[in-house]
Amino acid sequence: MEQHIGWIGTGVMGKSMCAHILNAGYKISVYNRTKEKAKELVDMGATWCSNPKEVAEKSDILFTIVGFPHDVEEVYLGENGILKSVKNGSILVDMTTSEPSLALRIYNIAKKMGASSLDAPVSGGDVGAKNGTLAIMSGGDKEIYDKVYPLFELMGKNIAYMGKAGAGQHTKMSNQILIASTMIGVVESLLYAHKAGNDLNEVINVIGKGAAGCWSINNLGPRIVEGNFDPGFFIKHFIKDMGIALKEAKNMNLSLPGLALAYQFYISATALGFENLGTQGLYKVLAKMNGI
């Protein structure tokens, strides 16, 4: 029997991720809070639905990737939410970076209704979404992960099963903690090179191939040099992620001073009106602090 796929959330990353599945020949039903953002997918052959509940009624496997935990809660548990009409035997896959506790809650409710769920947040930004090279870290039941794996392969290259429900979200928190402090290093490095009079592209080319090389300097560094602060991943969403990580760390009696410092820098970005820029917009904050 042919699988019918559902997709909720067609923003910066979701649209490209859904398109990969659509291009593979699957029938897809889509919903997005702003209908216009789903138009390209509908033009490609996806079927528009008026709310998450309608998507759930039509789907064997349903993917969601929205903005914040409260959006996840509304999509799954709201008046017209997925769990109001989920089909027996269906699989729900939340790819939003969200709270591990919420992932476990959805898992338990879905289980009672005869459905299954995975938390499968991603990393790689808009470039990874467009190129189908995302990192996908998944939590839930292994046999369900195995069933969804062929669809994950259409969206990512670094795909891993991390353990029980919530484990995918905890892995993503580890990812975001590392990126948070790394971005401070990237920005300060480029500000230093700028002040010293170096050619920034040449600096990136050299240090990006050495011990300091990382995804952020090699992919976001050139955008900073070009003055391109468009979001591959929004500052406001990164602040959300860091907040979740700090909350989880507090619950574990774990001190993360580096993350706390990075969080404050990004809060400053919001205060300056930069919340809708990409995470590389941190450059503008520290440049302003230094009168550059």
pLDDT in tens, 65-74: 999 999 999 9
pTM here is 0.92
pLDDT above 80 for 1: no
d(CA 165, CA 11): 25
pLDDT in tens, 61-97: 999 999 999 999 999 999 999 999 999 999 999 999 9
Domains of the chain by start residue, with CATH: 4-165 (3.40.50.720), 170-289 (1.10.1040.10)
> What pLDDT sits at residue 86?
92
- What's the pLDDT band for 151 if we cut at 50, 70, 90? very high
Residue-averaged pLDDT of the chain = 96
Average pLDDT for 14-32: 97
pLDDT above 90 for 118: yes
> What pLDDT sits at residue 232?
85
> What pLDDT sits at residue 74?
97
Residues contacting 83, CB < 8 A, separation 6+: 56, 76, 77, 106, 109, 110, 113
- What's the pLDDT band for 233 if we cut at 50, 70, 90? confident
Is residue 151 within 8 A of residue 21, CB to CB? The reply is yes
- What's the pLDDT band for 12 if we cut at 50, 70, 90? confident
Q: Of the listed 172, 209, 236, 247, which one is catalytic?
A: 172
Q: How many C-beta neighbours within 10 Å does residue 78 have?
A: 16
Active site residue 250: no
Average pLDDT for 147-173: 98
- Specify the higher pLDDT residue, 125 or 242: 242
> What pLDDT sits at residue 286?
94
Average pLDDT for 9-36: 96
Helices (H), the chain: 14-23, 39-44, 52-58, 69-77, 100-112, 125-131, 142-155, 167-196, 200-207, 215, 221-226, 235-251, 257-271, 282-289
d(CA 150, CA 135): 14
Average pLDDT for 127-133: 95
